[in-house]
A and B are shown apart, each in its own frame.
Chain A
Amino acid sequence: GQQVMQIPQYQHVQEGEDFTTYCNSSTTLSNIQWYKQRPGGHPVFLIQLVKSGEVKKQKRLTFQFGEAKKNSSLHITATQTTDVGTYFCAGKAYLVNTGFQKLVFGTGTRLLVSP
């Protein structure tokens, strides 16, 4: 089945440093979504990328979708303590027998920011 891997698994940065998480899928994705889950919280939708090579920005966050639509990245500039949490990418996988799609989450990158 489809696998979505993220690296690194964990990163600890000082406040003000930059951070990047990389997402790689075993299959081509029609689109990719990013979610953030704070410690003890639930996943919260951040953004969706659809087009090959697409780049989107949300304040200090920059999201990219690879040209082959098999990888994506999230870059945070000048991290803040509020950025702490686990960042998941998620891609859609077709279920052959049903014709439906399901969202497959990446393995996640846990970010810790020290003040």
Chain B
Amino acid sequence: DTEVTQTPKHLVMGMTNKKSLKCEQHMGHRAMYWYKQKAKKPPELMFVYSYEKLSINESVPSRFSPECPNSSLLNLHLHALQPEDSALYLCASSQEVREREPQHFGDGTRLSIL
């Protein structure tokens, strides 16, 4: 069982839809992350939040909009996505954004864009 909870587990949406991915952790972690993972590839970092502030945006297109409402929650708002955005979206958390902190991953949301 993972301590990072992501919903929904699966999402199918059209290119004109607006949807949101949600992530929650109750480990008291102050760093939260969004990753994108394509099949048979490693996770690629999208965003990092540290103490509820956006610290890193890896040049992600504006059709992906992250939000951190509080220290336990992380959202990823999706709008006007493209078919190439179909992937597994992983949320992770760590104690803080420090060198030696392991990251705890959620099960992910498997996203398909029609």
Contact = CB atoms under 8 A, between A and B. Distances in A.
Interface of A: 30-31, 33, 41-45, 48, 50, 88, 92, 95, 98, 100-108, 110
Interface of B: 2, 40-45, 48, 50, 55-56, 58, 90, 97, 99-100, 102-108
B90 A33 contact: no
Contacts, number: 52
Nearest to B6: A42
Given A42-B2, A43-B90, A95 B56 contact: yes
Given A100-B48, A101-B99, A106 B106 contact: no
B97 A101 contact: yes
A108 B41 CA distance: 7
Contacts of B104: 45
A43 B48 CA distance: 17
A12 to B, nearest CB: 15
A102 B103 CA distance: 11
Contacts of A107: 41-42
Contacts of B42: 88, 105-108
A100 B56 contact: yes
Nearest to A101: B99
26 contacts: A33-B102, A42-B90, A42-B105, A42-B108, A43-B43, A44-B105, A45-B102, A45-B103, A45-B104, A48-B100, A88-B42, A88-B43, A95-B56, A100-B48, A100-B97, A101-B97, A102-B45, A102-B56, A102-B58, A105-B42, A105-B43, A105-B44, A107-B41, A107-B42, A108-B41, A110-B40
